[in-house]
Amino acid sequence: MSTTEPAFVIVTGMSGAGRSTAAKALEDLGWFVIDNLPPGLLFAMAEEAGKVKLAADKVAAVVDVRSLAFTTDLNAAIVELEGRGVRVRVVFLEASDEELVRRFENVRRPHPLQGEGRLVDGIARERGILREVRANADLVIDTSADNVHELRGKIVAYFGGEDRPGLRVNVVSFGFKYGLPVDADLVVDCRFLPNPHWVPDLRPMNGLDAPVREYVLSQPGAKEFLDAYEEVLGVVAAGYSREGKSYATLAVGCTGGKHRSVAMAEQVAARLRDRGMEVQVSHRDVGRE
């Protein structure tokens, strides 16, 4: 996101997914943030902050869902802001049902939409209300496996360099047996390569270790895949930039998320950096076995 045009970030998503942590991280980066703002007041906040007519400092609003009119109200507020020349970007925080249940039970609080029902009923109701918002969000962040420090690191990585234009890419390795990352824009399957798990000396290691990396990259098809996929990503990244997409998450998977996906994710990230993209890498499932 360039500082030469107005920008307004709306942080929303599932209750318990980390909205408050994201807000605090943005504040620490020097953003002007208002938490728990009703959608109907977004334009008033932007106007008060000097965002409607001026490309001023960074401004964000954290919006949660408390009524069935949430989606309509939020969409109307975004249309109003963009009609006044404000560039709006929506960040959606996501987490699995199981993780949300665990978090609410840990703090012994009911879900805001639970009513007289169960905790899972409130979560399901909120997912239904937020379905359209999530589908249209500019950035979806899955916090299921993140603690507060890891989520803060993601926010800093995405928004800490807002004065630098261009696409920012998050490359994450994962294991298919643990499920797809729900925030992935693109998914790569590395299970076509031989699995180092079946090599006794390599089994205890992971894709960050040189012996595993060398084994994976020496396999037939590994370099050819990386060469071809780099070209594909160049085309996709150019298209994302033309469409105004500032962030993308690329998921690289293998069976367990320990060997092949880790080594290949590091290689993909290195090639994207060589192309001048801003890239961060994370390995979701290393250490789970």
Annotated binding site for ATP: 13-20
Residue 190 CB-density burial (10 A; 0-12 exposed, 13-18 middle, 19+ buried): buried
Binding residues for GTP: 64-67
Please tell me the distance from the alpha carbon of residue 64 to that of residue 35, in angstroms, as a whole number. 9
Q: Which of 11, 155, 18, 1 is nearest to 92 (CA)?
A: 11
> How far apart are the C-alpha atoms of 211 and 202, rounded to whole Å?
7
Residues that constitute the known binding site = 13-20, 64-67
How far apart CA 12 and CA 40 sit, in angstroms, is 14
Task: Tell me how long the chain is.
Answer: 289
Dump the DSSP string for 29-56: TT-EEESS--GGGHHHHHHHTTTTTS--
